[in-house]
Structure 1
Amino acid sequence: MIEAYILIQVRSGTAHEVAEQLSGLDGVAEAHVVMGPYDVIAFVRVCDTEAMHELTIGRMHTLPGVSRTLTCSVVPSQTCSHRPSPIDR
């Protein structure tokens, strides 16, 4: 299993539409509109690199409004712990 965060730049005014379309793609666990140099971030889970290529190049890049993507693969770690946020305490 490969997990990644994909940062997506879109044409002005299309961020919400792109995030909604991404949410419907197989492999996309979450998609959110964000502020900063990228407009949308997606968290994806796929079975292998071929599936990642198909998702990013074959599906995401064909969505209307998508200009560019940057894939940041998650490095597996057995020492990662999920602690509650100070906000949640």
Structure 2
Amino acid sequence: MVQAYILIQTEVGKAATVAETVGAIPGVVTAEDVTGPYDCIARVEAATVDELGKLVIARIQDVPGITRTLTCTVVHV
């Protein structure tokens, strides 16, 4: 299981809507709007790194109102 945090920047005033929409996507464990340089943070899970990439590119980045994402993969050292 691959886990990651997706940091999301949105258009002005769209954070709550984006967080709600992203949170409903299969594979997204949680999505919340936050303060700071990013507007939303989502925690996601996928079976493989390739599936994680597809989730981010095909599903999350397709959500209206998102302007940029940054994927932070969880590592266990």
Place the TM-score, normalised by the shorter chain, in its bin: over 0.9
Q: Counterpart in 1 of 2:55? A: 55
| Structure 2: distance between partners of 1:65 and 1:50 | 25
| Structure 1: distance between partners of 2:47 and 2:15 | 27
Matched length: 77
Higher strand share: 2
Q: Counterpart in 1 of 2:4? A: 4
How far off is 1:4 after superposition?
A: 0.6
1:69 aligned onto 2:46: no
Q: Counterpart in 1 of 2:26? A: 26
Q: Counterpart in 2 of 1:81? A: none
What's the % identity of the aligned pairs?
45
Which structure has the higher relative contact order (CA within 8 Å, separation 6+)?
2
Helix, strand or coil: the match of 2:22?
helix
Q: Counterpart in 2 of 1:17? A: 17
1:37 aligned onto 2:37: yes
* RMSD of aligned Cα (Å): 0.8
| Structure 2: distance between partners of 1:63 and 1:51 | 18
How far off is 1:30 after superposition?
A: 0.5
Unpaired segments ≥5 residues, structure 2: none
